[in-house]
Each structure stands twice: as structure tokens, then as C-alpha cells.
Amino acid sequence: MDANNRHTDTRMISLIGFSVIAGIYLFFRRRRTVEVSFSKHMPELIDTLLVLIRAGHSPASAMSQLHNWSPDDLKPHLLPVTTELAAGLRFAETMKNLRESLGPCIYPICDILVCADRDGLPITSVLDQLSFHAHQERRRLGEIEARELPVRLLFPLVCCILPSFVLLAMVPLLVNSLTVVTEKLL
């Protein structure tokens, strides 16, 4: 009875340890995905902003309409820009709030738009360059994710596919060999 209790305790400790490790892994994985998702949408955001600017909108009016064509992840962050501008808040303050909301991935866009609104300079060539670099950055991030894929698939391969291969391919051969050997011995 004492050996059974020790065996059960060991199983429970192993199960709790595995659960804690899996929980920590999922927590950090979810947190990393949220941080990366904004930077993945920046090329579309810049391209849409560029279309609005080329259509004749000022930086402020382009930003107030940008939420209509933005990806779903960015809409909750871009909608306050429209309400703040409609409420009469200065464009520079609105961009500062957007910077705090979205983080470092939007800093160049906000800086360019504030400078263009303040100075009245054309910004299409700057936005073209920013769009080009954003597309390159997204391509680079995609290549990094593609290189990480074999490492991510290693755990399911080792824990799921290889044991099933052993059960389906090796165990019947082993059982067949053992029955043949036992028949010859008897």
C-alpha cells in the first residue's frame, strides 16, 4: 500500500509540474502573439493611409477615416482617433494618444503625420518609403516564423507521431516475432 501511495504521489506531482509548465508556455505565447499582431498589420495601414492622402485628404481627415478600412485588430485603437478629432482635440495630442495605444510600431507614422500637419509638407514619398520598409519587415518576420516552424513541430512529432508509429508499426512486428520464437521454443 505504501508503494502505491508513493506511485500515485509521483504521478500527481508530475501532472502538476507539467500543467504549470504548459500554463507558463501558453501565457507567454499568447502575450507574444498580441505584440506581433500590430506590426503585421502596419503595411496595410500605411497603404490605406497613403491612398487616403493621395485622394486629397489632410493627415487629420485621413486618420479620422482610417478606421473604416483598417484590420479588425486595429479598429478599437483607431476609432478613438476619430472621436478625439471630432471632439476638437489637437491632432498632435491625438497622435500622442495613438502612439501610447499601439506602441512602437506606429511611431514613424505618427511622427510623419504630425510633421506634415504642422508644416504642410507633402508626405506621399515618405509614406511610400515607409510602406516599402514595412512590407520588407513583414516579409522578414514571415521568414523567421517559417524557420521556427520545424522547431515548433518537433514537440508534436516526438510526442504524438513517433509513439503512434511505434505502436502501429513496431509493436505488431515485435508481437509476431515473440509468438514465432515462443512457438519454436515450445
Average pLDDT, the chain: 86
End-to-end CA distance of the chain: 38
Q: Which residues contact 43 (CB under 8 A, 6 or more apart)?
A: 131, 134, 135, 138
| pLDDT tens digits for range 78-113 | 999 999 999 999 999 999 999 998 888 899 999 999
**Do 48 and 32 share a structural domain?**
no
Range with lowest mean pLDDT among 12-26, 51-65, 134-148: 12-26
Domain that holds residue 24: 1-39
The residue-averaged pLDDT of 44-62 equals: 93
Number of domains in the chain: 2
Range with lowest mean pLDDT among 3-17, 108-122, 151-165: 3-17
Per-residue pLDDT at 36 exceeds 50: no
Boundary (domain end) residue, out of 142, 159, 177: 142
Per-residue pLDDT at 30 exceeds 90: no
